Structure 1
Amino acid sequence: MENIIQSLLETDLYKFSMGQAIYHNFPDYTTTWTFKCRNKDVKFTKEMVDEIKNQILAYCNLTFKEDELTYLSKVTWIKKSYVDFLRLWHPRYEDFTIGTDADCGLTIETNGTWLNTSLYEIPTLAIVNEVYFRMAYDYKELIASFEEKLDEKIKLLSDKTYNIGAFSEFGLRRRLSAEAQELAVKKLKEANLGDSIFVGTSNVLLAKKLGVNPVGTMAHEWIMCVGQGNHKHNPAYSNWYALDYWVKEYGILNGTALTDAITTDCFLRDFQLTYSTLFSGVRHDSGDPIEWGEKMINHYKSLGIDPATKTLLFSDSLDFKRANDINAHFKGRAKVAFGIGTYIANDTKVPALNIVMKTTACNGQDVAKISDVAGKGMCKNPDYVDYLQRCIDWRMTHEKV
């Protein structure tokens, strides 16, 4: 099998945004990341695991090329000091532990500096996905069904069956293959999409190759590690620490805040006038999107901020039908945008994998996400999840607003 990851640019843009903030503020933080396959009926064979090891080893032999760093440096908020760091950086295979002791037949864990391990997540998941689908199925049949479905869904935008406004492709971590993702982005770029607007892709390499915008926001790891990795912090204030460091790093640039790392209600306690003004918008990633959007609009109004000046970015398990309904509901009341992943990058005649790789420890301490719905979190220590929930509950109950 050819090398799946062919460039260190082949990751989501937010990995570089967070990476720069990590480099400047938390260069000595360490993290543990743990892989999990949520599909109950998926089994990775020994041959698949061996191929995954080979692919990750090949990825670890990559270094940045100068034209890639030149491209990255053109992103408005990327600084020369971080680009210079990347010039020397490459992945370390020694940071990976890969085995078979799991129900699905595959275990992956990475340990090392946050600077390193953060950048491993997306390429690792892309490798696991592509190895699985190429070895478990007839890949030619899958890519044919992928292209057929892609053409059908593009037609739904072209003939204005659906109007989803501004949207981006976010599917790198769960794509069928590099070939499939490139095909999707290329066709979306070239198609007449009616009233819908294709903004770009989270895949930086693909954005460079196809001349579209690289797009991305912060991820849960930022809030979890900044807020919970320092043992002196009360984790119920994770969002305050995370937002504060983000503004110190970027000012008013790159400002889309993720709301659900420790529930949106707790997030809103910290997302007061200064941050609500500085950040250009917020991202939804769990819970009912309509309820969440209404909550955000009411929050902005309560602060005297016109919600129509802010972006509501939706990115949770979307397809064009859901995006169309959300867009219609909020049209004219706020700027609405969508990040759509698996539905664009891995929609075939067989079910997509539901795989994740999450931060499970920072600086030797457990970290956890408690999102707006059960089941999206991942932590090795239930006692820590209980502690975090009690901290949140105490703050929400006792803190004067």
Structure 2
Amino acid sequence: MILNLARRAHNHNWALDPIVRSLLDTDFYKLLMLQYIWKHFRGVQVTFSVMNRQPAVRLAEQIDIDELRAQLEHVRGLRLKKSELVWLAGNTFYGVRGIFEPAFLDWLENEFQLPDFVLDVVDGQVKLEFSGEWAQVTLWEIYALSILSEMKTRYGLRGLNELELDILYARAKTRLWEKIERMRGVDGLRIADFGTRRRHSFLWHEYVVNAMHSTLGPCFTGTSNTYLAYKHDMEAIGTNAHELPMALAAMANNDEELLQSQYKVLELWQQTYGGALLVLLPDTYGSTQFFRNAPDWVAAWTGLRIDSKDPFAAGEEYITWLRQRGQEVGRKRLIASDGLDVEEILALHQRFHGRIRFSAGWGTLLTNDFRDCHPRGEQELEPLGLICKLQTANGRPAVKLSDNYQKATGQAEEVARYRKVFGVEGVANVPVIV
């Protein structure tokens, strides 16, 4: 736990200080989804692109584009180590050993290759796109976001001397400790780290995860970062994301197929995985319509992750739906994960503990909360709302509607068509935190 973050931050003077040093340095759900894509959708062609939800921050003026290109090329050159592949093959995930098939791991070792990228600057923003076969492209998302986030951090640290860096990290450590102190001893509280994509830096991320692990005991259930789980013998946490229903929806041939595509994703997922990995993410096209139209077998799934809806309202909606479908609520999982900080986590725990198996996936405000920590009072270290989203699947435009109008992505005419098919019941218009 004794790590001189200030000195490490001060000494970024190598020709290239790699931000991503292992292909396992990604969210665990990306590997689960990769195997799913490899099994069911090999050959599908996709495009992803990075977007900045805060365009007033001219990101391309804060990072060196040539260094960004070098960081991305470094990741393209990485391969999984034998020890990492052995861990994936033999470790127990969610109580199951051998969750990754030998043929998939063989493909990862011998055939997987991140494709090239298109990098440019447009109106002060980084334009970064990835295209190719879905199974080869999908892992770019987390690598790209964590690289951009840490490069922004390095810009914010520029010119600070070692004493100022000491002050910065002392303030951030104090804030982290204050948050941990509020959570220690809270009966039944369950928290996991979900903070890879917008972390301050890899070193800070590792420091935070170790601090949580060493002080919170069983309250801290694990990390979504596969490399940190591998390195520190922790549970790897994660299931699936919006990318899957977005792709299947884009490939639908008519409005009825479009409406049913959100459940086709689940049928295939259920064929691939089971048990604790059967966690719903219902908000890609609106949670309320998802529940209303869902087949009865969907209610038998293990739990639900809340993303874009008010988590208090979303939790109550899920509980009501489970009761209507004759399910035993107390056996189900409810995971909140969007823009959480300590206040909301504790309030959600108080609301749902004892009614359902509640846990929180704590992201950006766990691994990148340097607000007001800068020794010169500058705001450049505040986290930035970067996303990397699916844009096309087999040449067709992809859309995400969400439970929040502010989070919708896609071409305007396609967004309008999707809203006509899925409706807008239960959708709100609220600010996006991160």
Match of 2:130 in 1: 110
Q: CA deviation at 1:253?
A: 5.1
Aligned-partner SS, 1:111? strand
Distance (Å, rounded) in 1 between the aligned partners of 2:188 and 2:69 = 39
Is the 8 Å Cα contact of residues 3 and 55 (structure 1) preserved in structure 2?
yes
- Report the Cα offset of residue 230 of structure 1: 3.8
Which of 284, 301, 323 matches 1:261? Answer: 284
Pick from 226, 229, 233: which aligns with 1:207?
Answer: 229
Partner of 1:354: 385
Q: Which residue does the alignment assign to 1:180?
A: 204
Q: 1:231 to 1:111 in 2, by over 3 A?
A: farther
Relative to structure 1, is the Cα distance of residues 155 and 9 closer, same or farther in structure 2, using a 3 angstrom cutoff? same
Q: Equivalent of 1:300, from 316, 322, 325?
A: 322
Q: Distance in 2 between matches of 1:80 and 1:98?
A: 35
Mapping of 1:246-395 within 5 angstroms?
A: 246-252=269-275, 254-277=277-300, 279-348=301-370, 349=373, 350-379=381-410, 381-393=411-423
The answer as to whether partners of 1:62 and 1:90 remain within 8 angstroms in 2 is no
Question: Which residue does the alignment assign to 2:87?
Answer: 71
The one of 191, 203, 216 equivalent to 1:167 is 191
Name the CA shift for 1:130/1:197 in 2 (closer, same or farther; >3 Å).
Answer: same
Of 56, 81, 99, 2:72 maps to: 56
Deviation at 1:189, TM superposition (A): 0.6
Counterpart Cα distance in 2 of 1:131 and 1:192: 30
* Cα deviation code 1:334-359 (max 9, x no counterpart): 11011010111101133111111111
| 1:38 aligned partner | 53
Give distance in 2, aligned partners of 1:303 and 1:115: 36
TM-score by length of 1: 0.92
Question: Quick one: which amino acid aligns to residue 97 of structure 1?
Answer: V
- State how far apart, in whole Å, the 1-side matches of 2:276 and 2:192 are: 19
Q: Deviations over 1:260-307 (max 9, x none)?
A: 000001211343431211x21011001211111111111111111111
The 8 Å contact of residues 250 and 392 in structure 2, kept in 1 or not, is answered as: no
Aligned 8 A contact 2:114 2:137 in 1: no
Q: Please give the root-mean-square deviation of Cα atoms over the aligned residues, in Å.
A: 2.1
SS in 2 for 1:213: coil
Indicate the SS of the match to 1:322: helix
Q: 1:23 aligns with which of 38, 49, 53?
A: 38
Partner deviation per Cα, 1:106-134 (whole Å, 9 max, x = no partner): 11111111111111000110000101111
* Aligned-pair CA distance for 1:142: 4.5
Give the partner amino acid of 1:100: V
Asked if the contact 1:33/1:361 (under 8 Å) is kept, the reply is: yes
CA contact (8 A) 1:163 1:327 kept: no
Return the alpha-carbon distance in structure 1 between the equivalents of residues 281 and 412 of structure 2.
24
Contact 1:240–1:270 (CA<8 Å) still a contact in 2? no
Aligned residues: 388
Post-superposition offset of 1:46: 7.6
The aligned counterpart of 1:9 is 24
In structure 2, distance between residues paired with 1:28 and 1:170 = 30
Q: In 2, distance between residues paired with 1:360 and 1:164?
A: 40
Distance 1:146 1:46 in 2: 22
User: Do 1:311 and 1:336's aligned partners in 2 also have CA atoms closer than 8 Å?
Assistant: yes
84, 89, 93: which one pairs with 2:106? 84
Provide the C-alpha distance between the structure 2 equivalents of 1:171 and 1:59, rounded to a whole number of angstroms. 19
Q: Give 1:375's aligned amino acid.
A: Q
Identity, in percent, stands at 27
Which amino acid in structure 2 is aligned with residue 23 of structure 1?
Answer: W
Residue 80 of structure 1 and its aligned partner are, at CA, apart by 1.5
Residue 13 of structure 2 corresponds to: none
Q: Does 1:217 align with 2:239?
A: yes
- The Cα shift of 1:317 comes to 0.6
Q: Which letter maps to 1:386?
A: A
Unaligned runs of 5+ in 1: 397-401
Flag the 1:363–1:124 CA change in 2: closer, same or farther, 3 A.
same
